[in-house]
Structure 1
Amino acid sequence: MPVLRPLHSGWTLRAAGPAPLGDGPVPATVPGCVHTDLLDAGLIPDPYLDANELDLAWIGRTTWVYETTFDAVVADDRVDLVADGLDTVATVTLNGVELGRTANMHRGYRFDVREVLRPTGNRLEIRFDSAYDYALAVRDAVGERPNAYDEPFQYIRKMASNFGWDWGPTLVTAGIWQPIGLHSWSVARLAEVRPLVTVDGTDGIVDVHVTVERAGDEPLTVTATVAGVTATATIAAGESSAVVTVTVPDVRLWWPRGFGAADRYDLDVTLHADTAMVDTWQRRIGFRTVEVDTRADADGTAFTLVVNGTPVFVRGVNWIPDDAFVTRVDRSRYAARIGQAIDAGVNYLRVWGGGRYESDDFYDLCDEHGLLVGQDFLFACAAYPEEEPLGSEVAAEASEQVLRLMSHPSLVMWVGNNENIWGFQDWDWQEPLAGRTWGAGYYFDVLPGIVTAVDPTRPYWPGNPWSGTDTVHPNDPAHGTSHIWTVWNTHDYRHYATYHPRFLAEFGFQAPPTFATLRRAVSDEPLTPTSPGILHHQKAADGNGKLAAGLTGHFPLPAGFDDWHWATQLNQARAITFGISHFRSLRPLCMGTVLWQLNDNWPVTSWSAVDGDGRRKPLWYALRRAYASRFLTIQPRSGVPTLIAVNDSTTAWQAQVDVRRVSFTGDPRAKATLTVDVPAGGTVAVPLPPDVTTPEDPARELIVADGATWYFGEDVDLAYPAASVDVVVHPTAGGATVEVTARTFVRDLTLFADRLDPAATVDEQLVTLLPGETVTLHVTGTALPAADDPAWRTAPALRTANDLIPG
C-alpha cells in the first residue's frame, strides 16, 4: 500500500540576500509562510497593528529559502515528493539536484525522487523568488494591462488579495503553504478519481472515472462502493483508465438548508493488482441535481438556482480569505465563521475570485450543513493576459481544482471571474489594451471547456456580473447576475429601491469593526475617525468620506468618536436591511441576494458583517432578521405602505398578523388583523387599511406588524424622545442576563458587550421597544463589570438611535 510521509518538521527559513534581520536562519512552520515565521521568531511586529504593514513591504520583494534534512528508506518502486501548494515562484532542489520550478500558488506538484534520495542526510531546499520580480518580468514580456489597483497581481497565478484590496493589507506572502511529503508506492497508484454524481428518478448514479499511473504493467482491478453497492472494472495491461458505474436505488438526496437533510454517502475506491490492494481513495458525496434557469421572460432574463428540481432563493454572502495569512485558518476557524453565516440565515456562500480555491475543510463543512457554494475561478478586477507563461498555468490550475472539488455536493456553480467582463465594458480598459488579450479567452472558452470535460454535472457562468449575452450590458440588472455599487460609491442607500435585479451577486455598505477589534489593532491616542491608525485601517478610496456621505439624510454628522462609531455601524445595518427587504419582496423576479461581504481578513473598516477578529457587527444581527426563511416587510406599493410576506420555506405559511399604527408614546392610533396565506416559495402582498397607513403625526408614529416596521420619515425627521430605560443585570455562570425595560420609545437598542469585556458577546442587538416593553439580552463573558456598574446602563456600551438625534 502507498505510504505518505509528511515532511513538516525541521524546516528553517533564511533570506537569500540583504534583509533587515539578524544573522542565521530561523525555525519555520510548514505549512506556513514567511510572515508568520518571522512573526513567531519575534523578528517583525504584527503586520495587522497600526501601520506596521507599510514597514514590512520588503518581505514580498525578498528571496527566501526554506531548508530541511531527513532520512529516507527506499523500498518501493516509486518515491515522489508531493507538494500540494508552493507560494509561489519556487525552485525545488533535493541533494543538489533541481527537481523543478513552479510559478502557481493554486496548483500541486509531484516529483519522482527515488533515484535522488539517500538513506540519511537528505537535504531539501525550496527557494522562493520575489513574486513582485516575477510578476513585473511577465508584465514586461506580455505588455501592461489595466487593473483596479496599482499592483501587478494579474501577471502571476497567486492570491490577488495578497497584493492588497479595498478591504485588505498588502502582504505579499511566500512559503510552503500546503502539505508536503514523500509518497512511496509500487505497481500503480490512483492518479485521478473523477466521480460524476447524478440522479435518475429515485436512483443515484456515480460514474467513477479512474486514471492510474503505473510502475509496472500488470492488469489492475478498480472497485467502487457506495451505500453497500459495489461495482468493478478492469484496467488491462498497458491501459491507464477505466469507468466504474455504481447505481444506488432509492437514494436519499442532499438538500440545501431549509429544504431537507444534507444526506451524504461514503464513496470508496480501491485499486488491486491480482489480490493485493495497491491504492485507495475515499470521499463523501451527495446525490442532487443542480441547474440555473436562465430563461428569457417579459422582465428580461432569469437567473434562478434550481436544486433537485426546486427553485431556491439565494440568501447569500460573499466569502473572502478569512486571514491574509491563509495557513492560520484551520478547520475550527472555518467552522466558527460558517456557523456565523448559518446563524444569520445564510444558505449560499460565494467564494470570491481574488482569493483562493477554498480548502477541503471549508467545503466539507458546507456539505455537512447544507450550504450552497459558488466558486469563482481566480480572476478579479483586472485585464488578465492569456499569453504564456500564464495561459497554460491557468488551464492546469483550473483542471486540478475542478477535479479536486467535484465530489462536494455543496459546490453548485463555477463562475469565470469577478467583474472583469464589466471592467472591459465600462472601466476604460479598451483603449490601453489596444486589442491585446484581457481574459475573454479564459472566461468564454478555456474555463467552460474544462468544466464540461472534467465535471459536466455543474453549471458554469462566465462572470459576475454577466447578463448572459454580449448583446446586453454585462451589469444590466434585468438580465443574469448583477452588482450594485452605485449605492456606497455615489448614491444614498434608498437608491436600492430603484433596482429590480434578477440575481444580485454583490452589494454592500461599509462600517468600522467592533470597538474591541479596532482598539486591539490601533493604538492612536486619542482615537478619532481621522486619526492615523483609523485611516490606515480604511482601505477604500475616500472610505471615510463615503461613510459620512452615507449618513446624510439619515443622521446628523456625529461630534465624537463614539457617536461616529455607533452611527456608521447602525447606518450599515439600516442600508443592508433596506436593500435586502426590497429585493426579497420582489421574489420571484429577484431570486438571489449575495451580500458583500461576510468576513474580513484583518482588522479593518469594511463591508463585512463579521469583523477581522471574528466579532459580529450590528449588521450581522440585522442580516439574521432580513434573511429569515419566513419574512415580513412593509414596502411601498404605488406609494402606499403594503405588507409583503415572503415564504422561502417548503410548506405553506398561514398566519394572522396584527398590524398597528402607534405613537412613540405607545398610544394606539389604528389597528387591523390581517391574514397572510403564502404558498411555499411564494410572496404575497397584503394591502393595509388606510387608517393604518395614514399618520396623524408623521414625526411621532410608526407602523408595527409582528416585527416589521414602517416609519413615516428618516431619523433626522423624527421626534424621538430622549431614550430612558431601566436596566437590571443578573449575573450567571459565564455571563449575565440583562433585562431592559423601556420608559420611552427606544429604537435600535444595542448593548455592545465588547465595551464591557473585549471577549464578551451578546445574543441580540438593534431592538426597538415601545414604552413598557422589555427585552432580555444574554451576555457571555468572564470579565464583565459588576451588576451595579453604571457601564451597563450608559454609552458607549448601551446605545439607541435616539442618542444620535439632538433634542
Structure 2
Amino acid sequence: MKDVTPLTDGWTLRHDRTDVPATVPGCVHTDLLAAGLIEDPFLSRNETDLAWVGRTDWRYDTVLGARDTAHERTDLVFDGLDTVATVRVGGETVGNTRNMHRSYRFDITDRLKTATPLQVEFTSAYTEAEAVRAQVGERPNAYPEPFQYIRKMACSFGWDWGPTLVTAGLWKPARLEHWSTARLTRVRPHLTLDGTTGLAELRVDVERTETGSAQRLTARARVGDHTATAAVDGTHTTLTVQVPDAALWCPRGYGEQSLYEAELELLDADGTVLDRWERRVGFRTVTLDTGADAHGTAFTLAVNGEPVFARGVNWIPDDVFPSRITRDRYRTRLTQAADAGVNLLRVWGGGLYESDDFYDVCDELGLLVWQDFPFACAAYPEEQPLRSEIEAEARENVTRLMPHASLVLWNGNNENLWGFRDWEWEPALDGDSWGEGYYLGLLPRIVAETDPTRPYWAGSPWSGSWDHHPNDPAHGTAHSWDVWNRTDYTDYLDTVPRFVAEFGWQAPPTHATLRRALPGEELHPTSPGMLHHQKAADGNGKLRRGLARHFTVPESGPAGFDRWHYLTQLNQARAIATGIAHWRSHWPLCAGTVLWQLNDCWPVTSWAAIDGDERPKPLYFTLRELYADRLLTVQRRDGRPTVVADNQSPAPWDADVTLRRITADGRTLAETTMTARAGARSVALAAVPDDLLPAAGSTTEFLVADVPEGPGVLRALHFPVRDREFAYPAPRYDVAVVDHGDVVDVVVTARTLLRDLLLQADRLAPTAVADRGLLTLLPGESATVHVHGWDDAGAGSTAAVRAALFMVEPA
C-alpha cells in the first residue's frame, strides 16, 4: 500500500534578513502576522502598508529526511502552490509552477539518500503577470490590476468588496508519497440512473513503475454494498457498479440527501492493495432546460426530473487568505445559508475551485452548486503560456469535483461575454484573443469529455448565443446591476428575467464588526476607515442616493451615524425583498434568483448578507423569509395590488388570508378574509377587493395581509407611498428583558405602528446574536427576540435594549 508522509512541520519563511517559522498550509501574510512582523491588514487602513508583500519574492525551506522505505518510487506532492514557484531538492530544480488552481507531483526517488533541503521559491505574482502581459499584449479588464495574466485567485488583487492582498505560499497540503508497482492517477465516476438502478461507471487511469509495467493489475470497486472488478489493461480500465433500487440524492426541500460510500482499490497480481480512492457519491439526474418559448429562452434546472426554483446566493472565498478556511468554517457558513432557505450556491469566477470540504458539506446539506471556471471581469489571452495551464487546471478540477452530487452546473466565466459586448472591449482588442475560445470551445469540450452527466453554460450572464444580447433578461441568465448603480430598487419590478444570476444592494457590516475593524475611530460614513472599507466606485454616493429616494437622509458626521447605519441596512433588505418577491412570484417563467452575495472575505461595506466577522446583517434574516417554502407578498398585477401566495413546498397550500386596511394611527377601516389556493411548487394570485385598497397616494392608510403559519403568521404589507411621504406616528413601545441564563428574551410591545423594528444585538455585547431581524408590529402587538451570547444582561438591560432598538421614524 502507498505510504504518505505529510510535510507540515519544520518550515521556515525567508526573505533577505526575514527568517520566521512558517505554517503549511498557509501563506506569507499569515506567517508574517503570526511572527508579529506586520499588522492585521483587516484593521483600519493597514492594508495599504502591506502592498510590498505581494511584490516581494519569498522562499519556504524545510529538510526532507533520508529515504527510508522499500517502495520503488517517492514523489513530492503539492496540492496547491500559490502561484509562481521553483521547487528545489538538494539545491537542484525539480519543477516550476505558475498556477494556483493545480496540484503538482515530482519524482524525487533518487534525491533523498541523506537528509536533503527542500526549497520552494516564490516569485511575486506581479512579476509573472506583468511578464506575461508584455509577452501576449495588453487586454482590457474591469479593475486596474493584472489578474488575467496569471492563473491565480483573481480577487486577491482586490475587487469592489475586497482588499488588495496578493498572496504567496503553500496554500494546500504538501506530502511525500512512497509507492511501488503502480498508483491511481485519476478516477472519474459517472453516476447515472437506469430506471431505479444506479450505475456508477468508474473510469480509471494508473501510472506504473518500470518494474510494474508488465504486471497484472486489477481494479476493485465498491459502492455501498455492491461491487465490481476489472483487469487494468495497460494504464486504463473502466468498471461499472450497479446499485439496484438506488436511493436518490435530492436538493434540500425535495427529498433526502442519500449518499453512498464509494471505494476503488488497485491490486497487484497477489491481491495486495497498492492504492485506494475513496469518495461519497450520490445518484441523481440533472438537466438544464434552455428551450425557446413565447417569452424567450428558458434557464431552468431540474433535478431528478423536477424543475427547481433556485433560491440562490453567490459565494466568494470566505477569507482573502483561503488557507485559513477550515472544514468547520465551511460548515458554519453553509449551514447559515441552508438555515436561510438557500438551495443553490454559485461559486463565483473571480475566486477558487473550493476545497473538497466545501462540496462535502454541500452534499450533506442538499445545497446545489453552480461552479464557475475561474474567469471574471476581464479579457483573458488565449495564447501560451496561459492556454495549456487553463486546459490542465480545468481537466484536473472537473475530475476532482465530479464525484460530488451537489455539483449541478459548470459555468464558463463571470461577465466576460457581457464585457466584450458592452464594456468597450471589442474595439480595444482589435481582433486579439479575449477568452471566447475558452468559453465556447475548450471548456465545453473538456466538460463533455470528462463529466458528461452535468450541463455546461458558457457564462453568466449569457443568452445562449450571439443571436441575443449577452445580458438580455428574456434569454438565459441575467445580471441586474443598473438598479444598484444608477436607479432605484423599485425598478426591479419592471422586468421578469428568466434567471437572475446576480443582483444586489450594499450596506455596511454590523456595528460590532465596524468597531473591531476600525479601533479608536469616530465612526461616520466618510471617516477614513469607513471610506477605506468601502471598495465600490462611488459606493457611499450610491448608498446615499438609494436612501434619499425613500427616507430622509441622516445628517453627515458622527451624530447621524447610528441612524445612517440602520437605514442603509434596512434599505439593503428592502431592495432585495423587492426583487426576490417580484421575480419569485413569476415562477416558472423566472426560475431562480442568486443574490450577490452571501459572504465577505474581510470586514467591509458590501452586498453581503453575512459580514466579514461572520455576523448576519438584517438582510440575512429577510432572506430567510424570502427563501422560505411559503412566501406571502402583495404585488401589482394588471395595475392593482394582488395577494401572492408563493408555495415552493411539496404540499398544496390553502392560504387563508386576512386583509385589513389600516390607518397610520392603528384604526382598521375595512377587513375581509379570502383564500389563495397554491398547488405544490406553484404560485396563486388573488386580487385585493376594492374596499380593502388604500387610496392611491394616501399617506395615512396601508394594507396588511396575514396568513396563519405554525405558531405565528406570515405577513405582507402594502404602502401606497414611500416611507419619506408616509405619516408615521412617533414610535411608542414597551420593553421587557427576561434573562434565562443561556438566552435573554427581549419582549417589545407596540403602542403605535412600529415599522421595520430591529434589535441590533451586537450593540448589547459583541458576542450577542439575535434570532430575528426586521419586523413590523401593529399597535398592541408584541414580539419576542431571543438573544444568545449576552452574558452580562442585568441591571440597566432595558435601557441598553432601547439604545439598540431602531425603527422607521417620521420624516
Shared fold, TM over 0.5: yes
Name which of 706, 714, 717 aligns with 2:725: 717
In 1, distance between residues paired with 2:764 and 2:7?
Answer: 45
Partner of 1:316: 312
In 1, distance between residues paired with 2:278 and 2:610?
Answer: 34
In 2, distance between residues paired with 1:570 and 1:271?
Answer: 58
Partner of 1:499: 495
Deviations 1:610-643 (A, max 9, x none): 0000000011111111111111110011221101
Residue 737 (structure 2) pairs with residue 737 (structure 1): no
Deviations 1:157-206 (A, max 9, x none): 00000000000000000000000000011111111111000111111111
Name which of 324, 341, 344 aligns with 1:345: 341
**Does the residue aligned with 2:5 lie in a helix, a strand or coil?**
strand
The letter for the 1-side match of 2:496 is H
Q: How does 1:191-590 map to 2 (within 5 A)?
A: 191-215=185-209, 216=212, 217-236=214-233, 239-274=234-269, 275-523=271-519, 525-559=521-555, 560-590=560-590
Q: Please state how far the C-alpha of 1:782 moved relative to its aligned partner.
A: 4.1
The letter for the 2-side match of 1:801 is V
In 2, distance between residues paired with 1:357 and 1:793?
Answer: 43
The letter for the 1-side match of 2:158 is G
Partner of 2:806: 799
The letter for the 2-side match of 1:355 is G
Partner of 1:682: 682
Partner of 1:616: 616
Name which of 749, 759, 774 aligns with 2:782: 774
In 1, distance between residues paired with 2:106 and 2:755?
Answer: 64
Contact 2:735 2:798 in 1 (8 A): no
Name which of 107, 110, 117 aligns with 1:112: 107
In 1, distance between residues paired with 2:323 and 2:732?
Answer: 48
Of 343-352 and 222-231, deviating more is 222-231
The letter for the 2-side match of 1:30 is V
Contact 1:74 1:114 in 2 (8 A): no
Partner of 1:703: 703
Name which of 84, 87, 94 aligns with 2:82: 87
Q: How does 1:68-87 map to 2 (within 5 A)?
A: 68-71=62-65, 72-87=67-82
**Does the residue aligned with 2:110 lie in a helix, a strand or coil?**
coil
In 1, distance between residues paired with 2:522 and 2:10?
Answer: 45
**Does the residue aligned with 2:247 lie in a helix, a strand or coil?**
coil
The letter for the 2-side match of 1:570 is L
Q: Please state how far the C-alpha of 1:122 moved relative to its aligned partner.
A: 1.6
Q: Please state how far the C-alpha of 1:277 moved relative to its aligned partner.
A: 1.3
Residue 632 (structure 2) pairs with residue 635 (structure 1): no
Q: Please state how far the C-alpha of 1:801 moved relative to its aligned partner.
A: 1.2
Q: Please state how far the C-alpha of 1:24 moved relative to its aligned partner.
A: 4.3
Contact 2:413 2:460 in 1 (8 A): yes
Residue 135 (structure 2) pairs with residue 156 (structure 1): no
Q: Please state how far the C-alpha of 1:696 moved relative to its aligned partner.
A: 9.1
Structure 1 unaligned blocks of 5 or more: 18-22
Q: Please state how far the C-alpha of 1:228 moved relative to its aligned partner.
A: 1.2
Partner of 1:753: 761
The letter for the 1-side match of 2:685 is A
The percentage of aligned residue pairs carrying the same residue is: 58
Deviations 1:683-709 (A, max 9, x none): 111111111114499222221112111
Name which of 126, 133, 138 aligns with 2:127: 133
Partner of 1:764: 772
Q: Please state how far the C-alpha of 1:273 moved relative to its aligned partner.
A: 0.8
Which consecutive aligned stretches of 4+ in structure 1 deviate over 6 angstroms post-superposition?
none
Contact 1:88 1:131 in 2 (8 A): yes
In 1, distance between residues paired with 2:729 and 2:302?
Answer: 49
Residue 98 (structure 2) pairs with residue 103 (structure 1): yes
**Does the residue aligned with 1:699 lie in a helix, a strand or coil?**
coil
In 1, distance between residues paired with 2:222 and 2:436?
Answer: 41
Contact 1:97 1:116 in 2 (8 A): no
Q: Please state how far the C-alpha of 1:788 moved relative to its aligned partner.
A: 3.4
**Does the residue aligned with 2:699 lie in a helix, a strand or coil?**
helix
In 2, distance between residues paired with 1:694 and 1:527?
Answer: 41
Partner of 1:49: 43
**Does the residue aligned with 2:502 lie in a helix, a strand or coil?**
strand
Structure 2 unaligned blocks of 5 or more: 707-714
In 2, distance between residues paired with 1:140 and 1:763?
Answer: 54
Deviations 1:504-534 (A, max 9, x none): 0000000000011011111353211101100
In 1, distance between residues paired with 2:461 and 2:455?
Answer: 16
**Does the residue aligned with 2:588 lie in a helix, a strand or coil?**
coil
The letter for the 1-side match of 2:758 is T
**Does the residue aligned with 1:56 lie in a helix, a strand or coil?**
helix
Q: Please state how far the C-alpha of 1:582 moved relative to its aligned partner.
A: 0.6
The letter for the 2-side match of 1:134 is E
Contact 2:335 2:365 in 1 (8 A): no
Deviations 1:694-735 (A, max 9, x none): 449922222111211111111001111111111000112223
The letter for the 2-side match of 1:7 is L
The letter for the 2-side match of 1:222 is A
Contact 1:577 1:626 in 2 (8 A): yes
In 2, distance between residues paired with 1:534 and 1:659?
Answer: 43
In 1, distance between residues paired with 2:732 and 2:331?
Answer: 40
The letter for the 1-side match of 2:5 is R
**Does the residue aligned with 2:525 lie in a helix, a strand or coil?**
coil
The letter for the 1-side match of 2:748 is V
**Does the residue aligned with 2:469 lie in a helix, a strand or coil?**
coil
Partner of 1:14: 14
Q: Please state how far the C-alpha of 1:660 moved relative to its aligned partner.
A: 1.4
Q: Please state how far the C-alpha of 1:251 moved relative to its aligned partner.
A: 0.6
The letter for the 1-side match of 2:112 is L
In 2, distance between residues paired with 1:138 and 1:70?
Answer: 33
In 2, distance between residues paired with 1:152 and 1:356?
Answer: 17
Partner of 1:644: 644
Aligned-pair Cα RMSD in Å: 1.1
Contact 2:25 2:323 in 1 (8 A): yes
Partner of 1:27: 21
Contact 2:764 2:801 in 1 (8 A): no
The letter for the 2-side match of 1:250 is D
Aligned residues: 794
- Normalising by structure 1, we get a TM-score of 0.97
Q: Please state how far the C-alpha of 1:432 moved relative to its aligned partner.
A: 1.4
Partner of 1:789: 797
Contact 1:524 1:531 in 2 (8 A): no
**Does the residue aligned with 1:468 lie in a helix, a strand or coil?**
coil
Partner of 1:20: none
Distance of aligned partners of 1:24 and 1:481 in 2 relative to their CA distance in 1, 3 Å threshold: closer
- Normalising by structure 2, we get a TM-score of 0.97
In 1, distance between residues paired with 2:240 and 2:13?
Answer: 48
In 2, distance between residues paired with 1:490 and 1:53?
Answer: 29
**Does the residue aligned with 2:691 lie in a helix, a strand or coil?**
helix
Q: Please state how far the C-alpha of 1:784 moved relative to its aligned partner.
A: 3.6
In 2, distance between residues paired with 1:794 and 1:713?
Answer: 28
The letter for the 1-side match of 2:228 is A
Contact 2:64 2:112 in 1 (8 A): no
